[in-house]
Amino acid sequence: MKVFYQPQTLQPLKPGEPESASVEDVEFPEELFLELRNALHESQKVLPPTARSFQGWEVGLLERFDGRDLVRSEEHKAEGHDGSDDKLAGVESEE
């Protein structure tokens, strides 16, 4: 999945300043933010240099998964697998 992002520091809106309807700010706990930032930066290595940014946005790639992947992961654990061979914790790798 291609992700367009702009890292920012949280700055509260000034009184009377409208919120942007076209961009959504997403806050993450620091540990998750660091992991996400590293994954996005590492994924840029597979992109051509000209595709690593677009109109002021950084571009990165993330693996897409859905709720069914989490269910399969729980089934995998129930079968006695410890998850140490999974690509991401809590998400079953494709074998």
Output the DSSP codes for 73-93: HHHHHHTT--STT-SBTTBPP
Determine contact, residues 61/46, Cβ cutoff 8 Å.
yes
Q: What pLDDT, on a 0 to 100 scale, did the predictor assign at position 66?
A: 73
Structural domain boundaries in the chain: 26-62, 65-95
pLDDT digits (tens, 9 = 90+) for 10-60: 777 788 888 777 777 777 788 988 998 899 999 999 999 999 999 999 999
Distance CA(3)–CA(43), nearest Å, equals 10
**In whole angstroms, what separates CA 63 from the centre of its chain?**
8
Distance CA(22)–CA(17), nearest Å, equals 15
Distance CA(88)–CA(67), nearest Å, equals 14
User: At 46, is the secondary structure helix, strand, or coil?
Assistant: helix
List, in sequence order, every beta strand (DSSP E) within the chain. 2-5, 53-54, 57-61
Banded model confidence at residue 65, pLDDT cuts 50, 70, 90 = confident
- The answer to whether residue 87 scores a pLDDT higher than 50 is no
Whole-model pTM?
0.56
